[in-house]
Amino acid sequence: MRVLTDLEPKNVFSFFEDICSIPHPSYKEEKISNYLVEFAKARGLEHYQDELHNVIIIKEASEGYEDVEPIILQGHMDMVCEKAPDCDKDMDEEGLDLLIDGDFISAKGTTLGGDDGIAVAYALAILDDDSLSHPRLEFVCTVCEEVGMEGATGIDVSMLKGKKLLNMDSEEEGVMLASCAGGCRADVKLPVERETVSGTKLTVSLSGLTGGHSGSEIDKGRGNANTLMSRLLRDASAPVAIASIDGGRKDNAIPRECTAQIIVAPDEAAAVKASIEQAAAEIAQEFKASDPDLKLTVSEETDCSESAISAKDSARVIALIEALPNGIIRMSREIDKLVETSLNLGVLKSDDAAVTLRYAVRSSVGVAKKSLKNQLVCIAGAFAAEVTFEGDYPAWEYKKDSKLREDMVRIFEEMYGKKPTVEAIHAGVECGLLSGKIEGLDCISMGPDMYDIHTTEERLSISSAKRSYEYILRVIACK
């Protein structure tokens, strides 16, 4: 049953509901990519689909706009797939269960994917409407943005004619982005030895943390479940052997849960449990403002004998997590309240041979990003761990003279009687990569109000989505 049928603009929310019904996690965008191709075919629009499943759709100018400079509309088709612990949805295979609560759309038990499904819906609604006035429109829809902008890295844009790009991947109405951080993914892999260990097994789980986007919300001081778990195990009153330790699902999301299974000597179990509970109480007090729902559970299984990381290597695992930096590294010296450099331990996982720490590394200063990467290599090397980097993308530097920015500020002020905010952000958008592919590209990023993206509390404002669409229509009609 359709949920968004009565919402305005109808065409935008109809396409958004279609998108939400199609599974589209990063690396599994083929279905949504094919949907976009079928959309273009049905309307006789010029279109391209590459081997990565990036899609470009082109619509020629409407009457009277043939000589107006083309404009590129841009967004990404993948979404961060997070779900609540009690949600059994297979997000690789199933669509979302949409909910409306007042002015907000959300998804039951999962992320919504408004980042960046609403951008795709905007573009499709525009391309579908033959009554609109517009220059040549070039819709660029990429894959794998959420895992390192791999689609934007690999896309061929040689068929594009536009030099103005409207990226619709921001989450605050009235705020226009003119610069963003660069970044990469870092995997720190620590080889470990396992052995059969007998004793009492304690399953230690941290949950209920607030989480959030590792770029735009890294400055909120929220707890990271993975690093906090290392603190709990560090403060255990006796040596522990880690059978498993796993937390977080995405490097660009601040992890909300982490679980470790540890084996301890039977006569030490009560004391270890008590020391972990004490450490958790201290952490809860420390993070009471940012993470009021933080919860610790410790379950116990006696007479256990199973494979676990040796006590010596378990200590190395804990020490490595503690030694590596996490969170804000440095604030900008040029822009007030802007995070310059940071990293986030988004994923912590163990297997038979190693424990892997996956970080999102970000900086608006290239040499600072390079320095942080070198720091990771140096610290990891001291523990005999290996570091690999993937998905490196450049920062999007501020353009002093921007005709697109001037027009968008003017139009916003005409429509709403106030000036929009123009700012830089610590999160990454694809403008930097695309600017490197299209000489002289003029970019702005904008979008409607969305809250708690990359979390199960993600929600999209209906009224803001409507206003933002009306604004975009004015922008593309500008001569």
Question: Which of 17, 78, 169, 340 is an active site residue?
Answer: 78
| 82 is annotated as an active-site residue | no
| 10-21 and 462-476 helices, crossing angle to 10° | 110
Within 13 A of 226's CA, how many CA atoms are on the CB side?
A: 31
- CA angle, 55 then 56 then 58, to 5°: 150
Residue 174, sorted as left (phi over 0), alpha (psi -120 to 50) or beta, turns out to be left
Nearest to 393 by CA among 216, 192, 236, 182: 182
Q: Beta-carbon neighbour count of residue 64 at 10 Å?
A: 11
164 within 8 A of 442, measured Cβ to Cβ: yes
Q: Is 95 exposed, middle or buried (0-12, 13-18, 19+ CB in 10 A)?
A: middle
| 145 is annotated as an active-site residue | yes
256 within 8 A of 365, measured Cβ to Cβ: no
224 within 8 A of 255, measured Cβ to Cβ: yes
Q: What's the N-to-C CA distance of the chain in angstroms?
A: 41
Structural element, H or E, at residue 259: strand 258-264
399 DSSP β-pair partners: none
- 300 — phi, psi (to 5°)? -130, 135
Cβ neighbors of 170 (< 8 A, separation 6 or more) are 176, 177, 425, 429, 445, 446, 447
Locus of tokens 């001081």 = 221
Instruction: Tell me the three state secondary structure of residue 278.
Output: helix
Question: Which of 17, 115, 145, 257 is an active site residue?
Answer: 145
Q: Is 3 exposed, middle or buried (0-12, 13-18, 19+ CB in 10 A)?
A: middle
Q: Where are the alpha helices (DSSP H) in 159-248?
A: 225-234
Cβ neighbors of 316 (< 8 A, separation 6 or more) are 190, 192, 383
Query: What are the tokens at 230?
Result: 């290392």
| 225-234 and 311-323 helices, crossing angle to 10° | 130
Q: In the 8-state DSSP scheme, what is residue 70? A: P
- Identity of the residue numbered 66: E
143 within 8 A of 77, measured Cβ to Cβ: yes
Cα–Cα dist 95/32, whole Å: 11
Active site (catalytic) residues:
78, 145
